[in-house]
């Protein structure tokens, strides 16, 4: 890639999702990304041959703008749209500039859906976690793949917010219509400072991958 995402160096379980995707979904399959940000995960999927539906409503993530980086450095960040055009991938991505929980139905099912630490954001706390997961599940065709990485609780305040969760708690949202393929978790780790969090900070993260059973 010619450009670099603002989130390039943050920890992700995306390689595990990508491995499962390659096993289950042929190139030209459609993958929905919930919370596309500036395209850290969208661009690699499009470059690998997948069609991507990218849900993102943040204007700065879509169009770029001025950001404050660690070290009190001000910089211009390139947005998702310009990154896609620069990489000549724009035609492979359908952008949905709406709140995922309120977006109109796509009109088609996807081969896979993925979200990276989006439902724990405070902007999504006004709706139940079950609703977020159910809407993701509705996007997936039979035999399709569901993937989510998410923040697990660390501070006491996190334990009162259901959106900070665990693989065990998430499993209850997956009925017999689903097969859970993989769950993982980290211990506490220190994430380097990045845009939006200008000091080193502590996280715990989890992963859940599931496949929709055939009809």
Residue 7 lies in a domain: no
d(C-alpha 201, C-alpha 192), whole Å: 7
Q: What pLDDT is attached to residue 1?
A: 67
- Start-to-end C-alpha separation, the chain: 39
Q: Which residues are within 8 A (CB) of 19 and not within 5 positions of it... i.e. 6 or more apart?
A: none
Tokens 């009162």: give the residue. 160
- Say which CATH number the domain at 176 has: 3.40.50.150
Tally of structural domains, the chain: 1
pLDDT in tens, 68-119: 888 788 888 999 999 999 999 999 999 999 999 999 888 889 999 999 999 9
**Strand order through the sheet with 30-34:** 93-96, 51-55, 30-34, 110-116, 140-151, 205-212, 178-185
pTM: 0.94
Residue 9 counted as domain residue: no
Cα distance between residue 40 and residue 53, in whole Å: 14
The reply to whether 2 falls in a domain is no
Digits of tens for pLDDT over the chain (215 positions)?
A: 677 888 788 999 999 999 999 999 988 999 999 999 999 999 999 999 999 999 999 999 999 999 888 878 888 899 999 999 999 999 999 999 999 999 988 888 999 999 999 998 878 888 899 999 999 999 999 999 999 999 999 988 888 899 999 999 999 999 999 999 999 999 999 988 888 788 888 999 999 999 999 87
- Length of the chain counted residue by residue: 215
- Closest alpha carbon to 180 in 138, 213, 133: 213
Would you say residue 5 lies in a domain?
no
- What ranges make up the beta strands (E) of 37-130? 51-55, 65-69, 73-77, 93-96, 110-116
Contact criterion met (CB below 8 Å) for 208 and 171: yes
Which structural domain range is residue 40 located in? 14-212
Residue 180 included in any domain = yes
- Cα angle 98, 99, 101; round to 5: 130
């Amino acid at each position: 890639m010619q450009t670099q995402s603002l989130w390039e160096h943050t920890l992700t379980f995306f390689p595990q999702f990508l491995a499962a995707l390659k096993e289950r979904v042929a190139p030209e399959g459609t993958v929905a990304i919930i919370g596309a940000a500036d395209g850290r995960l969208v661009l690699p999927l499009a470059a690998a041959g997948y069609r991507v539906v990218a849900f993102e409503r943040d204007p700065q993530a879509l169009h770029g703008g001025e950001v404050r980086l660690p070290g009190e450095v001000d910089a211009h960040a390139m947005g998702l749209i310009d990154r896609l055009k620069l990489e000549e991938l724009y035609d492979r991505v359908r952008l949905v500039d709406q709140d995922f929980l309120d977006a109109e139905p796509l009109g088609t099912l996807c081969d896979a859906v993925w979200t990276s630490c989006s439902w724990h954001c405070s902007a999504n706390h006004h709706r139940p976690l079950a609703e977020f997961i159910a809407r993701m599940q509705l996007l997936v065709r039979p035999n399709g793949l569901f993937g989510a990485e998410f923040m697990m609780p660390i501070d006491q305040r996190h334990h009162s917010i259901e959106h900070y969760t665990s693989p065990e708690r998430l499993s209850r949202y997956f009925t017999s219509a689903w097969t859970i393929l993989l769950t993982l978790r980290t211990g506490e780790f220190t994430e380097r400072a990045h845009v939006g969090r200008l000091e080193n900070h502590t996280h715990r993260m989890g992963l859940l991958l599931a496949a929709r059973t055939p009809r």
